[in-house]
C-alpha cells in the first residue's frame, strides 16, 4: 500500500498518484465541495446580492427541502432570512463607517457582555 492523498474538502482519501489526483481534483464532487467550503467565508453583502437576484425555490417553499441542496440555482432563503441578512449588512456597513471616521470602538469582551446581560436581567426582574 503506497502513499495516500487526503482531500480536506471532500473528507476522503485515495491512492496518491498523478492520474488519481488529477481525476479527483477535476471531478464534479470535489469542485462542489470546494465551492461550498469557500462560500462559508463570503461576506454578507455578497451573499445578499446573490440571493436577491435569484427566484425563490418552489420545492423548498412547499416542503422545506430541495433535492439539489446548496447546488440549487434558486434561493432557499425566506423573507425573514433576507431581512436578517440585510440588517447584518447594514450593521457591518455602519461599523466600517465608524472605524473609517476614527471613532474609538472598544473591542467587546465576553465579560462585558455577561455584565450587561446580568444588569438587563436584574432590571427586568425588578420591574
How many domains would you assign to the chain? Answer: 2
Pair 76, 98 in one domain = yes
Name the strand (E) or helix (H) holding 7.
Answer: strand 4-7
Query: Which domain does 3 fall in, by range?
Result: 1-41
Pair 31, 57 in one domain = no
pTM (whole model) above 0.75: no
pLDDT tens-digit map of 17-67: 999 999 999 999 999 899 888 888 888 899 899 999 999 999 998 998 999
Pair 27, 52 in one domain = no
| pLDDT at residue 111, rounded to an integer | 75
Pair 59, 82 in one domain = yes
Question: How far is it, in rounded angstroms, from Cα 6 to Cα 18?
Answer: 14
Pair 27, 54 in one domain = no
HEC-encoded secondary structure of 60-126: HHHHCCCCCHHHCCCECCCHHHHHHHHHHHHHHHHHHHHHHHCCCCCCCCHHHHHHHHHHHHHHHHH
Amino acid at each position: 500500500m503506497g502513499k495516500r492523498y487526503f482531500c480536506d474538502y471532500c473528507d476522503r482519501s485515495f491512492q496518491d498518484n498523478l492520474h488519481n489526483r488529477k481525476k479527483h481534483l477535476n471531478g464534479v464532487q470535489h469542485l462542489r465541495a470546494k465551492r461550498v467550503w469557500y462560500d462559508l467565508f463570503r461576506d454578507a453583502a455578497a451573499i445578499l446580492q446573490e440571493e436577491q437576484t435569484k427566484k425563490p425555490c418552489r420545492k423548498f417553499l412547499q416542503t422545506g427541502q430541495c433535492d439539489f441542496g446548496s447546488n440549487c440555482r434558486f434561493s432557499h432563503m425566506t423573507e425573514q432570512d433576507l431581512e436578517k441578512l440585510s440588517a447584518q449588512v447594514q450593521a457591518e456597513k455602519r461599523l466600517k463607517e465608524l472605524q473609517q471616521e476614527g471613532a474609538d470602538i472598544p473591542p467587546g469582551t465576553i465579560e462585558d457582555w455577561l455584565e450587561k446581560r446580568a444588569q438587563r436581567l436584574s432590571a427586568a426582574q425588578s420591574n
